[in-house]
Amino acid sequence: MAQSIADRRDQEFVLHEMLNAADLASHERFEEFNKKTMDMVLSEARNLAVKELLPANKEGDETGCSLENGKVIIPSSFHRAYKLFCEGEWVAMCDDPQFGGQGMPRVLSMAAGELFTGANCAFLMYPGLTHGAGKLVEEFGTDEQKKIYLKNLYTGKWAGTMCLTEPEAGSDVGNLTTTAKRNEDGTFSITGSKIFISGGDQDLTENIIHPVLARIEGAPAGTKGISLFLVPKYRVNADGSIGEPNDVICTGLEEKLGIHGNATASLAFGSKGNCTGELLGPENKGMKAMFVMMNEARLGVGLQGFGFASASYINAVNYARQRIQGVDLTRIFDKNAEPVAIINHPDVKRQLLHMKAQVDGMRALMYYTALCFDKVLTAEDDAHKDTYQGLIELLIPVVKGYITDRAFEVCTQGVQVFGGYGFIQEYPQEQLLRDCKITSIYEGTNGIQAMDLLGRKLGLKKGKPFMDLLTQMNTTIAQAKEMEELKNMAVKLEQAVNKLGEVAMHMGMTAMSEKVLDAFAVAHPFLDITGDVVMAWLELWRAVVAQPKIKTAKKKDAAFYQGQVKTAQYFISWVLPATLGKMEALQSNIPAIMEMPDTGFAG
């Protein structure tokens, strides 16, 4: 069975009919990116994804990466894919062309990224982390650092990583032990070890630039004393040429559940006392620099989860149309009944509709959040810019946390639709499931995303971003109420939106009371209900766009538009009632979690 990666028609629907992304071309920043150009970019991205990245995915999973005589070897097929990826200038899609970028809107890069991630996420992590390192240089580097590093990173000539995690300092970054000692020439001697470094070493590029968090000798304890350094694998001379090795040693590669094609490395810095780094940004402001990049990084992880789910769903749909097994249930006693495709069986259709509802909602949320980034850049005044930035801050933990949780569920159902074939390696579903799991763990576990939503984002700017989001939802509800076919759904969503407002106020007040631990014990369920309501809003928005087009569209498009409405009906009729039940539970408090004695658990 030929593998697929994404529903092109739905991509176009969200971009052009729902979000009107091509309107960005009215702003001089994006004037080149009209609808025709956007469609051309997506066609090129799909072509690269299907012809080059997807075929390399299976080898990447089966062969994996190896450490041989101190050298990391990655899957051979990744080399050609990387060369073509860089030649197409895909590393820095949204960035300044003078540094090797394409300058495209982020919403368009999100659509292209869905294709790349769904085709081969393990591969995409190499250029993805490279872009992240480049962004740090662009935001915090000196003019000299930008001159030396930026174009080399944004064109993919050099690779980049992100070195935060240590054996005893995972999510608690402030507990790191890597040190930086001042040198007379203004550089620093770096000593320490980092683990779980994606793309930490590889044989794709001539150099790897490691942004490393470390503590300068004498700096304060905790996160307040952390600085950020640029530490290249090979030293870089003043003229930009590559010099001698920099005492950065790969000490091992992790054997992982998934993403086998990406080298997850343990790195030793300065084990021979000869590792040099240069300060990136102000001293003791390393965590602040990393948090500036956190929105982009967490958006990227949400994209990974979504890419897996999108691919698993479209594979399941195609398989269900092709797999002939069993007769139509209404003809079960007809001895002459011919077997039918399993998509005709009610339970399979239920599974596919649930997958579709989740994937459609994810796509709308990913693209909408990306569009908010573009709106910040094109806002007509500071008030609009502030509104869109606030929506970004609020939605990021939902994008990263909620989407990656739901994506794993979709990938699980994707295996189920294939039945026994879904469980074997001949088909793609089991790899998508394995690869997807990491997305709920790295770049801040989803428990941390939930704490971020409750502890920081809910009360941000006195709650204005949250109220702005509710306003967006109510605008869609008002539009739906004007359509007889959607009125009932609008009323149900309105009830959920109002209830979400009540629960948010309750959670916020509880978090500021003596019951603070009880509040954070259910932060993740609060993230879930927030995500459910956001998804329901986006499903209704889709229906508002689609409903008027059903009668006038050609047969195939009419079915597509009808599918939008039916998907919204399913989500709002089936998922939201359970969400309302969770809201009732949250308002009633769940003290049993914190009252449970430690010794009351197993063992």
What's the residue count for the chain? Answer: 603
Q: What is d(CA 359, CA 407) in angstroms, rounded to the nearest whole number? A: 8
* Dihedral sign computed on CA atoms, order 228, 233, 236, 241: negative
User: Could you tell me which of 185, 174, 151 has the C-alpha nearest to residue 277?
Assistant: 185
Q: What is d(CA 302, CA 444) in angstroms, rounded to the nearest whole number? A: 12
Please state whether 443 falls in left (phi above 0), alpha (psi between -120 and 50) or beta.
Answer: left
Q: What is d(CA 374, CA 144) in angstroms, rounded to the nearest whole number? A: 28
Alpha helices in 141-274 (DSSP H): 143-145, 151-154
Alpha helices in 419-513 (DSSP H): 429-436, 446-452, 464-481, 487-511
User: Could you tell me which of 36, 42, 54 has the C-alpha nearest to residue 8?
Assistant: 42
Q: What is d(CA 352, CA 346) in angstroms, rounded to the nearest whole number? A: 10
**Catalytic residue selected from 114, 138, 443, 539:** 443
> Which two three-digit tokens encode residue 16?
């052009």
Question: Other CB atoms closer than 10 Å to residue 284's CB: what's the count?
Answer: 17
Q: Return the ∠ at Cα 224 (arms to 220 and 226), rounded to 5°.
A: 85
Please state whether 78 falls in left (phi above 0), alpha (psi between -120 and 50) or beta.
Answer: alpha
Alpha helices in 162-279 (DSSP H): none
* Whether residue 89 lies in the annotated active site: no
Q: CA–CA distance from 363 to each of 7, 18, 25, 367 (Å)?
A: 10, 11, 22, 6
Beta bridge partners of 72: 67
The answer for residues whose C-beta is within 8 angstroms of residue 568's C-beta and 6 or more apart is 486, 489, 536, 539, 540, 542, 543
The answer for residues whose C-beta is within 8 angstroms of residue 233's C-beta and 6 or more apart is 201, 207, 208, 209, 210, 245, 246, 248
Phi, psi of 74 (to 5 degrees): -105, 165
Catalytic annotation, residues: 443
